[in-house]
């Protein structure tokens, strides 16, 4: 998602301010910076903003969403113009949309639809383009959101710069005549073609779920009844199903499987009180209202095992678990392991140990974030690399920030490229 946002800016889409500076930009010292860059907000003095101190990320987040609720396209303070683009390419191993391509097919977002949009293409405009009767203030289904992300490249003219179905296999530092840069090697999944590309700068937008966590127990990867991804209840055979997890993805899977008539065993390491706190804090979401109701019914078809560890997956659906009550073997038809994932920083190994910070949101999403400079989101460990989306320090793992980080990043890249040209 953040990759698409960066691509749109690199492709020459530039925001300008219409009307007065939004009142939501409440810091009294911030308005002059915004006003001075009214005709091209990418030209804002990001270093000056960061010294107020106000994050450039927060500035663009509020310029994109000055109000919590969608109040019509005319309420957006930014308008967009197409200007000259930079020389850019986006490599992606899957279709546009990042992790949303892999979430359950019926899952709703945690946030209103207009919070999930890229600012250069409001989701209300997408609804109108597709003839969809949808409210941008409502949660959006995965299928509609993915359709939106898939529509963005053509709408914004990005398709020529996107290399879909490619995986970056290595990233190395290189020195060029105009300054330091990078050499990348990529492989195409359809035919194994290998390509070498050089770049002055890297925007690192791999997403928060590129490396799935492991239980590291026997049978995790060699028992056919164990799945490490949940999509839809009818993908998993049998009546007796175990879900291993305890976060939002596992909660969704357990709820949907129960309502489809399966007998659920829900296993998690955390104590009951922590899980119930997540449920209580999420009552604005329909499926958390539902799981609370299910747990309140105390039905035998939905059994929860708190403070419990899976120790092995044996033959014929025999799962060994361990709790304060001791060891136990449970016979199941299928197991779904939904224990989260982390970003993959393996490409940055040539630069040694990275400065990583643990970030988490109210819904139990945990991400190791890279430490960055506050005015441009450049990595402090790897100059020229810009983590974006959820990956940059102190973003609060905000959906609203998945695009907002791209503004100061691309502005900084543009400034540095201009300086190299002058030199």
Closest CA to 124 of 112, 109, 136, 115: 136
Provide mean pLDDT across the span 24-30: 83
- Same domain assignment for residues 360 and 392: yes
Residues 108 and 86: their CA atoms lie apart, in Å, by 36
- Maximum separation of any 2 CA atoms in the chain, in Å: 73
- Mean pLDDT of the chain, nearest integer: 92
Q: Is the pLDDT of residue 400 over 70?
A: no
Q: Is residue 367 in some structural domain?
A: yes
Residues contacting residue 300 through CB under 8 Å, at least 6 positions apart:
none
Residues paired with residue 162 on neighbouring β-strands, in sequence order: 90
What secondary structure does DSSP assign to 144-163, as a single string?
A: HHHHHHHHHHHHHT-GGGEE
Q: What is the pLDDT of residues 121-173, one digit of tens each?
A: 999 999 999 999 999 999 999 999 999 999 999 999 999 999 999 999 999 99
Q: What is the pLDDT of residues 100-121, one digit of tens each?
A: 888 888 888 888 999 999 999 9
Report which DSSP code applies to 333. S
Q: Which of 290, 324, 339 is the last residue of a domain?
A: 339
Residues 291 and 255 sit within 8 Å (Cβ to Cβ): yes
- Same domain assignment for residues 406 and 293: no
Q: Which of 320, 339, 358 is the last residue of a domain?
A: 339
Whole-number Cα distances in Å, 148 to 1, 114, 145, 308: 11, 11, 5, 40
Whole-number Cα distances in Å, 211 to 223, 346, 367, 371, 418: 20, 10, 11, 19, 36
Residues paired with residue 379 on neighbouring β-strands, in sequence order: 372
Provide mean pLDDT across the span 18-30: 87
Residues contacting residue 361 through CB under 8 Å, at least 6 positions apart:
396, 397, 398
Q: What proportion of the chain, given as a percentage, has pLDDT over 70?
A: 96
Residues 110 and 107: their CA atoms lie apart, in Å, by 9
CATH number of the domain enclosing 295: 3.50.50.60
- Same domain assignment for residues 394 and 328: no
Closest CA to 59 of 35, 86, 85: 35
Closest CA to 233 of 258, 269, 266: 258
Provide mean pLDDT across the span 70-98: 93
Q: What is the pLDDT of residues 177-225, one digit of tens each?
A: 888 999 999 999 999 999 999 999 999 998 877 888 999 999 999 999 9
Range of the domain at 367: 2-165+343-422
Residues 330 and 337 sit within 8 Å (Cβ to Cβ): no
Predicted confidence band at 291 (pLDDT cuts at 50, 70, 90)?
Answer: very high
Residues 86 and 417 sit within 8 Å (Cβ to Cβ): yes
H/E segment holding residue 197: strand 194-199
- Same domain assignment for residues 237 and 112: no
Q: Is residue 185 in some structural domain?
A: no
Collapsing DSSP to helix, strand or coil, 29 comes out as coil
Residues 10 and 410: their CA atoms lie apart, in Å, by 7
Q: Is residue 189 in some structural domain?
A: no
Residues contacting residue 364 through CB under 8 Å, at least 6 positions apart:
246, 247, 248, 278, 340
Asked if omega into 53 is within 30° of 0 (cis), the reply is yes
Residues 197 and 327: their CA atoms lie apart, in Å, by 53
Q: Is residue 195 in some structural domain?
A: no
Q: What is the pLDDT of residues 345-367, one digit of tens each?
A: 999 999 999 999 886 655 556 67
Q: Is the pLDDT of residue 16 over 70?
A: yes
**Domain total for the chain?**
2
- Same domain assignment for residues 18 and 111: yes
Helices (H) and strands (E) in the chain, counts: 11, 23
């Amino acid at each position: 998602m953040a990759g698409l946002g960066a691509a749109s800016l690199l492709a020459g889409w530039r925001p300008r301010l219409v009307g007065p500076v939004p009142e939501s930009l409440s810091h009294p010292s911030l308005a002059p910076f915004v006003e001075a860059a009214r005709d091209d907000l990418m030209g804002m003095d990001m270093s000056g903003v960061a010294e107020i101190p106000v994050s450039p990320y927060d500035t663009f987040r509020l310029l994109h969403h000055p109000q919590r609720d969608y109040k019509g396209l005319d309420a957006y303070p930014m308008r967009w113009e197409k200007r000259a683009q930079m020389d850019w390419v986006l490599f992606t191993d899957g279709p546009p949309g990042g992790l949303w391509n892999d979430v359950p097919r019926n899952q709703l977002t945690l946030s209103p639809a207009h919070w999930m949009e890229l600012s250069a293409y409001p989701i209300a405009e997408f609804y109108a383009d597709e003839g969809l009767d949808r409210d941008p203030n409502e949660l959006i289904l995965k299928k509609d959101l993915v359709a939106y992300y898939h529509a963005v490249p053509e709408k914004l003219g990005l398709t020529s710069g996107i290399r879909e179905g490619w995986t970056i296999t290595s990233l190395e530092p290189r020195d060029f005549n105009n300054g330091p840069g990078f050499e990348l090697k990529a492989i195409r999944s359809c035919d194994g073609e290998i390509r070498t590309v050089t770049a002055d700068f890297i925007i690192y937008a791999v997403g928060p779920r590129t490396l799935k966590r492991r239980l590291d127990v026997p049978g995790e990867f060699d028992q056919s009844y164990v799945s490490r991804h949940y999509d839809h209840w009818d993908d998993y055979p049998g009546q007796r199903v175990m879900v291993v997890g305890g976060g939002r993805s596992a909660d969704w899977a357990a709820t949907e499987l129960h309502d489809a008539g399966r007998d659920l065993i829900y296993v998690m390491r955390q104590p009951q009180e922590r899980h119930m706190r997540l449920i209580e804090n999420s009552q604005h979401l329909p499926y958390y209202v539902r799981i609370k109701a299910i747990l309140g019914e105390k039905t035998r078809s939905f059994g929860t095992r708190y403070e419990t560890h899976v120790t092995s997956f044996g033959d014929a659906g025999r799962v060994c678990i361990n709790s304060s009550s001791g060891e136990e073997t449970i016979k199941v038809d299928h197991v779904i392991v939904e224990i989260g994932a982390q970003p993959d920083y393996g490409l940055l190994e040539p630069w040694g140990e990275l400065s990583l910070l643990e970030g988490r949101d109210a819904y139990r999403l945990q991400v190791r974030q890279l430490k960055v400079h506050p005015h441009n989101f450049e990595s402090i460990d790897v100059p020229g690399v810009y983590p974006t989306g959820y990956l940059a320090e102190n973003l609060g793992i905000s959906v609203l920030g998945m695009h907002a980080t791209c503004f100061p990043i691309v502005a900084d890249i543009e400034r540095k490229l201009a300086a190299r040209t002058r030199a």
